[in-house]
Amino acid sequence: MAKSISGVVVAWSLLATLLASSMASATIVHHSLYIKNLTVNYLCEEQVVIAANGSLPGPTIRVHEGDTLVIKVVNLSPHNISIHWHGIFQLQSGWADGPEYVTQCPIGSGEWWNGNVVDIEKEALLSGGAPNISDAFTINGKPGDFYPCSKKDTYKLKVVKGKTYMLRIINAALNNQLFFKIANHKMTVVAVDASYTNPYITDVVVSGPGQTIDILFTANQDVGSYYMTAHPYITVAGAPFDNTTTRGIIVYEGSTSSTPIMPVLPAFNDTPTAHTFFTNLTGLAGGPQWVPVPLHVDKHMFITIGLSLDFCKSGNATCPGPFGQSFSASMNNQSFVLPKTISILEAYFSGVSGIYTTNFPKRPPTKFDYTNTSLSIDQSLLFAQKGTKVTKLKFNEVVEIVFQNTALIGVENHPIHLHGFNFHILAQGFGNFKSRRDSKKFNLVNPQIRNTIGVPVGGWAVIRFQANNPGIWLMHCHLDVHLPWGLATAFEVENGDTPSSKLPPPPKDLPKCF
């Protein structure tokens, strides 16, 4: 008898989800997103969150492959916002990619209040420190019964014994990578970041902010209740973090059990388990939407990523960072600064000078022992240059990037997200990348295809992509605190020769900076 497969989306935090079928029909689909504050009663008190259409998680927008989506966003929240869509390349629609001051100015608010969560983050950044850690994690907007006053706020998934289910696991947390596990059940990974993989059987998955993982699991255990749980994967030593666990419950039809079985999650710092998961995934070569690895490389880049320092500007004698300075972050010792008067894409399209430059370095300015933790006392290596430097690419150029993690200030896994493209992950490992040694490890046959790569703690990763999408495309660390610190850069991709390979003019209703 064939098994039936059902699907469900499991997410950590607020998001709108696009689900596409493979039907051949194509049409224009209109949706509206109303963004506003939502008051919820979690953890024994009222909390204010930002929600789309009054739901947490946000609404699911169902479309067919090939449809054109027209999304009307109405900002009724007290904050400037923009919307970015993971897994959507925005071909000839780069104006809608979303990152503020990169492809558009933010969508302004109709009203403003004080004392909100954005103000708290701004105060932390002005002080030179990091924002407060979170109070809880959630599964589909519900914290779960490990937290106080939250027994009723536990996500439950009802299953039928013998059936197979697909879970789309979306890490929508801001500053944490997460381990996820289901008690007594194996999971089979079949896709990551909307790209198919060869089936990979595991009892734990790991995801960084912005990453998605599609897994299948079969309800093949005794009829009962089983927890699905998530808690952080933490790689930086000594930094405070939210060490709580969120959990939902998988309930078999006919179950009378009142006490679900709890899985044992990996230790918070279990890098071997995380690395095993990340490196055992391979792409489904020849499958739907498969793109072979480009074998010829036009541009090689070696990009160091990590924390750095900025001079204290808080008005205090000292700031919370090392040596009394402010925390910063950088790529190739360049700390990225977003413009405020016009977006980079508008400046590119209109030929406005003075907003950004195209001289982002292909290699770090100083070569050193990148993973040597003792070099954090060398202040000559710690202060990054500030600026808005991007890399200029010709249309269809093939780019290979070696991401090299540094041990300056702190050593951690950085999830790097590239807008506008998918990329092949050729290899990843620990220590300093050595081309002669490590290029032999490249998987050019069936590497996984992703848009976000967790660069191993104290290690490196190599990606390759084809720049076939004209516009300005941000590349940044998806740990939310690291973007305003400057752990980002961007690519300026020139137009191609055909109308379908050229960036069209901006829409008339593109938000203006103010």
Cα gap 106→102, rounded to integer Å: 10
Cβ–Cβ < 8 Å for 329, 485: yes
Write out pLDDT tens, residues 205-223: 999 999 999 999 999 999 9
Write out pLDDT tens, residues 372-383: 999 888 888 999
The predicted structure's pLDDT at residue 17: 52
The two tokens of residue 419 are 């807008």
The predicted structure's pLDDT at residue 416: 98
Return the sign of the alpha-carbon dihedral for residues 410, 412, 418, 424: positive
Cβ–Cβ < 8 Å for 12, 57: no
Beta bridge partners, 246, equal 230
Residue ranges per domain, the chain? 28-127, 156-283, 299-501
- H or E element that contains 64: strand 60-64
Q: What is the DSSP string of 421-458?
A: --EEEEEEEESS--HHHHGGG---SS--EESEEEEPTT
Q: Which amino acid is at 264?
A: V
> Is the domain covering 28-127 a CATH 2.40.30.10 domain?
no
Cα gap 215→192, rounded to integer Å: 9
The predicted structure's pLDDT at residue 114: 30
Supply the Cα-derived Rg of the chain in whole angstroms: 23
Cα gap 156→141, rounded to integer Å: 12
The predicted structure's pLDDT at residue 381: 92
Cβ–Cβ < 8 Å for 189, 205: yes
Assigned CATH for 299-501:
2.60.40.420
**Closest listed residue to residue 321, CA positions, set 128, 480, 125, 483:** 128
Assigned CATH for 156-283:
2.60.40.420
Q: Do domains 28-127 and 156-283 have the same CATH topology?
A: yes
The predicted structure's pLDDT at residue 463: 99
Q: Is the entire prediction scored with pTM above 0.75?
A: yes
Return the sign of the alpha-carbon dihedral for residues 147, 152, 157, 158: positive
Residues 6+ apart with CB under 8 A from 61: 16, 17, 18, 19, 29, 31, 69, 71
Residues of the chain with pLDDT under 50: 1-9, 12-16, 21-24, 111-117, 120
Cα gap 506→159, rounded to integer Å: 47
**Closest listed residue to residue 51, CA positions, set 26, 34, 66:** 34
The predicted structure's pLDDT at residue 128: 61
Neighbouring C-beta atoms of residue 141, cutoff 10 Å: 22
Residues 6+ apart with CB under 8 A from 249: 154, 155, 156, 157, 225, 226, 227, 228, 260
Q: What is the DSSP string of 138-160?
A: -BTTB--TTSTT-TTS--EEEE-
Cα gap 74→154, rounded to integer Å: 30
